[in-house]
Chain A
């Protein structure tokens, strides 16, 4: 029975370790496959226990049965097809890498999830073998390996870490407590306690600092070769203005759809470092956004030859229908598919437009280099001496709208390098939305306002409805705009070219939250005033750094207490179990109990000794009466086991009386020896 409990513990430890991948896939995606692995491992082990003749085949049996179940539960889910085998092979070999390349929680796709149940299965196979061959401590190593790998993927923090550490510690304690350690010595106890403490520490310690994660080390996937900078496509789009690009069905009021965002400018072109990852099940909310948000959604139908950049919103939450890659910081989506319909969900901030003016700006900003003379003076002209604030950003937006015009017609200016921007700002005063946005971002950054450039399409709303109720977005809607970082809100789009405002005025519609932002320039307030009147914004909770030490200490103390109580409790259970059952078994149990008690007290008792031999060996140490009782127990055991006559309750009673005498007899031993015996783990037979 103890062997069986130990095997269950080994399997449970592997499953608990596998469940630590929950932050990668979500708990729901892992429970069924891991439960399948656990059931198969336990059943296969049980079969081998009942049929020792197949013991040699146990690893192969557990492995094959486990792989079949994993294949069926995770991949095939019914009658398997040829493609399922390809997915299975790919998942086993490359699933771990695909999971690292994805945002988390990753999509619960077979190819991604597969490596976790396979790892747990291998841990079960190895653990069960090590349990039989090398004992419980080594049997926990494979599951500990899975645990460490899970922590390398994503280290648990906070209450989760405590809960999982306790869970793993509990099953590890089950394995150690129910199994035999080779020597009933303090060394064995120390090893067991160290193992539990290491496990707990291994899980808990990362919570004390910023843990390393393989997710952060993973390089982004290669971008599709056909991916073209949307800024470069704008000229071509305006040459064919009526061409539909995509259609939208949504109840959410949006004034624009973002294709790409750029935050680096080298004086010639805009770009952004590759930070794409496969989009998982859902992007977590940006903790920097502290204003209330609402989940909005839209169905987007991409017509033929749509761009590989998917129309999105800046706070993307999830995409269904396609499996795109996402830049988690900007929410920008790309895909290798040129057509397809998808549903986009995003988190729309629920803020009052008038509050924007009083928000402070976020400190993040990319610098500029080799700025030509004249631009700094223009920036100063635009906002005066006002410092970086949302109000001054609005002043600059109004300055553009008042002093510059959007170029229309066939003779459109081109370029976004410094010379073209300088020409646009100082001479032509007529430019494309791209030049408006580029110039705005450059001037804003020169004034310390954190800004970046976005490109996409405006949404004309009801004006663009087709017969099916979809809003049609065409090439002529392509435009670029600047966005500025507002603390607690995120990136807020502006409209220096007046492109969106013109559409809205035409449509006479109420302005959406993102766009209702333009207080009158006369309301401009200086930076110091803004700061003094900034309302208390919702802020993320402060890290509970001090509490963790306390919790960690409590958990470790609880584990130590548990380990301390586990040993005597296990021995009491062992004694009761041995005394139960038929008289023959109870007499054997008494003999085993005497063996174990004496060995735990460091007396020279070996496995092969009979009671009479034990009596002789311990004659110099124990009271002669105990030796006499041991010899008598030898007679009872002889009669019960080998006489051919069944023992009765009197034999059992006498045998256990001797156990009691032996337990009293060892009290003559030094206190140190008895203390060591008290904490020595229970032996298994």
Chain B
């Protein structure tokens, strides 16, 4: 494998570039880039002002490909996202005008402000990486990644993402408040007007595609797969969980673990890789029981307890 297309090298280049703007959040950056290498979509969820959009913007700028930003609002229509067919009088025919999803990296900002109908327009895009219009299918350019952001505390004028939509995000990550020293760096960077727009792309599309292909070749032992299945099964059987992780969630976990292993420059997945990404991959796929929610138990608690219970070296298939 060419050094430039090595997933670990690709990761290091992008991470270093992003962290010129995003300070004190290496774990979050690593998770989002893991999703990028796994060719999955990421939902960044946190309070306003923590840098969700900036992070997404930085990643988009770091890859030498097309990117677009969609600001989700209640009056946004599906065709505003996917594109529409317009009649060209001179040529006497309808021609498809691609929407903003036709980009390598799509930043869906405040995704929960759009109506469910518009949110659903992203379902096909995210799952099948194509747009269907007038019975015509228009495949999206690869690699393709949707980075959604949403604010969890504002309920007025928002529409909660449907479970099917959530399930299509490989990961959900939270930014969290920065440490004081990191926040100082944020202030200094702002003074220096270090914005995402000033970032140069550090990885071209070909290298990124090759790195994604390299991630797919990472060996995952059947015992690791069995471990993942046991984790997913444990969430389904957990007393606090109404609906546990789907098989799509198990697949997502393995893909994310492969990417994590490749970032570690390892050609096989170990249980530690799985554990590193398990929270980000599983939590948004769990629906807790009303009793658990009333008791203020969270999906994170469930995943933590499941990870603590299953013996990784005692897997019996």
Contacts and interface: CB of A to CB of B under 8 A. Distances in A.
A594 B98 CA distance: 59
Nearest to A587: B313
Nearest to B224: A642
Interface stretch (A274-282, A381-389, A441-449, A633-641): A633-641
A642 to B, nearest CB: 4
Given A607-B308, A607-B309, A609-B308, A685 B268 contact: no
A685 B316 CA distance: 12
A643 B306 CA distance: 24
Closest 5 interchain pairs by CB?
A638-B270, A642-B221, A608-B308, A606-B308, A643-B268
Interface in B259-276: 268-272, 275
Interface string A524-553: 000000000000000000000000000000
Nearest to B270: A638
Contacts of A609: 308
Given A638-B270, A644-B268, A591 B219 contact: no
A613 B304 CA distance: 13
A652 to B, nearest CB: 14
B89 interface: no
A406 interface: no
A466 B307 CA distance: 94
Contacts of A644: 219, 221, 268
23 contacts: A588-B313, A606-B308, A606-B309, A607-B309, A607-B311, A608-B306, A608-B307, A608-B309, A610-B270, A610-B312, A613-B272, A637-B313, A638-B268, A641-B223, A641-B313, A642-B224, A642-B268, A642-B270, A642-B271, A643-B219, A643-B221, A643-B268, A644-B268
B310 interface: yes
B234 to A, nearest CB: 10
Interface string A486-512: 000000000000000000000000000
Nearest to A640: B313
Contacts of A641: 221, 223, 313
B268 A608 contact: no
A637 B307 CA distance: 18
A610 B223 CA distance: 14
Interface in A378-420: none
B92 interface: no
Contacts of B310: 607-608
Contacts of B311: 607-608, 685
Secondary structure of the B contact surface, majority rule: mixed
Most-contacted residue by chain B among A588, A609, A638, A644 (CB, 10 A):
A638
Nearest to A592: B313
Contacts of A592: 313-314
Interface string B213-243: 0000001110110000000000000000000
A647 B270 CA distance: 15
Nearest to A591: B313
Contacts of A642: 220-221, 223-224, 268-271
A222 B59 CA distance: 96
Interface of A: 588, 591-592, 606-610, 612-613, 634, 637-638, 641-644, 685
Interface in B265-317: 268-272, 275, 306-314
Most-contacted residue by chain A among B220, B309, B311 (CB, 10 A):
B311
Contact of B272 (A588, A591, A612, A643): A612
A411 B315 CA distance: 100
Contacts of A643: 219, 221, 268
B314 to A, nearest CB: 6
A564 to B, nearest CB: 29
Interface of B: 219-221, 223-224, 268-272, 275, 306-314
Given A608-B306, A643-B221, 14 more contacts: A592-B313, A606-B309, A608-B311, A608-B312, A609-B308, A610-B272, A610-B275, A612-B272, A634-B272, A638-B270, A642-B224, A644-B221, A685-B311, A685-B314
A610 B257 CA distance: 15
B75 to A, nearest CB: 48
A613 B271 CA distance: 11
Contacts of A613: 272, 275
A642 B315 CA distance: 12
Contacts of A607: 308-311
Nearest to B311: A607
Most-contacted residue by chain A among B224, B268, B308, B312 (CB, 10 A):
B312
A324 to B, nearest CB: 61
Nearest to B227: A642
Contacts of B307: 608
A132 to B, nearest CB: 15
Contacts of B308: 606-609
Contacts of B272: 610, 612-613, 634, 638
B221 A610 contact: no
Nearest to A606: B308
Contacts of B223: 641-642
Contacts of A685: 311, 314
A642 B221 CA distance: 5
A644 B266 CA distance: 12
A613 to B, nearest CB: 8
B248 to A, nearest CB: 23
Contacts of A610: 270-272, 275, 312
Contacts of B268: 638, 642-644
Contacts of B220: 642
A591 B270 CA distance: 15
B171 to A, nearest CB: 21
Nearest to B267: A643
A651 to B, nearest CB: 14
Contacts of B314: 588, 592, 685
B257 to A, nearest CB: 11
A267 B10 CA distance: 118
B252 to A, nearest CB: 19
A609 B307 CA distance: 8
Contacts of A606: 308-309
A126 to B, nearest CB: 25
A175 to B, nearest CB: 22
A608 B307 CA distance: 6
Contacts of B271: 610, 638, 642
